[in-house]
């Protein structure tokens, strides 16, 4: 997974990532390559490099970013690596005033609403990367917003598919309950507590990578409350 981040009105905590802080806008992207081993790792690095390059050097939206990443990735993976791994991928562009525009297919995003004290899902739409070279017809932009105190949670299926010693999967319902239980915390504490609960569930037996990104909108947009944006590379 890779992640680039944005404005001071948000606290962001993530596992694995690269970070930058543009003045007016920024990006978060999350992806997961099928399979394990060296080829999926190379594919992830390729996707990260392409995404970082095009979003830093061009004025594109989320749809443009996803289409371009797929086109370049498809050629490299199929023609150079001679591999056929697919990749989930969602790109989110921050538009200001709590608004995000997103495109690409990954797991549904979780948004904890401070007003209701409950989570809701933001569905991702489109097709996975590397299935075909041109995905422009299937890739559309969509938008959602975070209000003050709301939390966006991005994750990979290593978390939701964690199994306890009896073979029972945590699943999305169990993961959402964990998110809601800790959503009142600051993002760093929230990250630590969510990961601790999942690891406790699976008795620290992990069959897949666990990637977690937490984005929390500050209570007063545009005002720095003294908390610095942080990165966490704990695995």
Q: Which strands, in side-by-side order, build the sheet including 109-113?
A: 10-14, 212-217, 151-155, 109-113, 118-122
Residue 62 has pLDDT above 90, yes or no: yes
Question: Do residues 227 and 188 touch, judged by C-beta distance below 8 A?
Answer: no
Determine the distance from the C-alpha atom of residue 77 to the mean position of all C-alpha atoms in its chain, rounded to a whole number: 22
Q: Token pair for residue 24?
A: 């007016």
Question: What pTM does this model have?
Answer: 0.83
**Digit-coded pLDDT (tens) for 75-104:** 988 888 888 889 999 999 988 888 999 999
CA distance 100 to 29: 12
Express each pLDDT in 6-44 by its tens digit: 333 444 444 333 343 332 358 888 999 988 888 888 888
State the chain's mean pLDDT as an integer: 82
- Report how far apart, in Å, the C-alpha atoms of 22 and of each of 4, 94, 187, 228 are: 10, 11, 21, 15
- The ranges assigned to domains in the chain are 10-217
Q: How far apart are CA 94 and CA 6, in angstroms?
A: 7
Q: Looking at residues 194-215, what average pLDDT do you find? A: 90
Q: Give per-residue pLDDT as tens, 133-172.
A: 999 999 999 999 999 999 999 999 999 999 999 999 999 9
Superfamily of domain 10-217: PPM-type phosphatase domain (3.60.40.10)
């Amino acid at each position: 997974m890779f992640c680039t981040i944005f404005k001071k009105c948000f606290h962001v905590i993530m596992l694995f990532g690269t970070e930058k802080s543009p003045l007016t806008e920024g990006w978060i992207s999350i992806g997961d390559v099928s399979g394990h081993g060296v080829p999926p790792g190379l594919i992830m690095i390729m996707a990260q490099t392409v995404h970082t390059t095009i979003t830093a050097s061009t004025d594109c939206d989320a749809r443009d970013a996803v289409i371009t990443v797929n086109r370049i990735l498809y050629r490299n993976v199929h023609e150079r690596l001679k591999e056929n791994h697919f990749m989930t991928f969602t790109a989110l562009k921050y538009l200001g005033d709590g608004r995000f525009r997103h495109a690409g297919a990954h797991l549904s995003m979780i948004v904890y609403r401070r007003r209701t004290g409950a989570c809701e899902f933001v569905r991702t739409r489109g097709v996975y990367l590397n299935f075909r070279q041109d995905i422009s017809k299937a890739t559309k932009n969509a938008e959602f917003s975070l209000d003050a105190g709301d939390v966006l949670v991005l994750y990979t299926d290593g978390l939701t598919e964690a199994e306890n010693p009896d073979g029972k999967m945590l699943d999305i319902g169990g993961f959402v309950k964990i998110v809601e239980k800790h959503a009142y915390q600051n993002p760093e504490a929230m990250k630590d507590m969510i990961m601790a609960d999942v690891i406790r569930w699976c008795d620290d037996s992990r069959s897949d990578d666990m990637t977690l990104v937490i984005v929390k909108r500050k209570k007063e947009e545009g005002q720095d409350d003294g908390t610095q944006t942080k990165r966490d590379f704990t695995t």
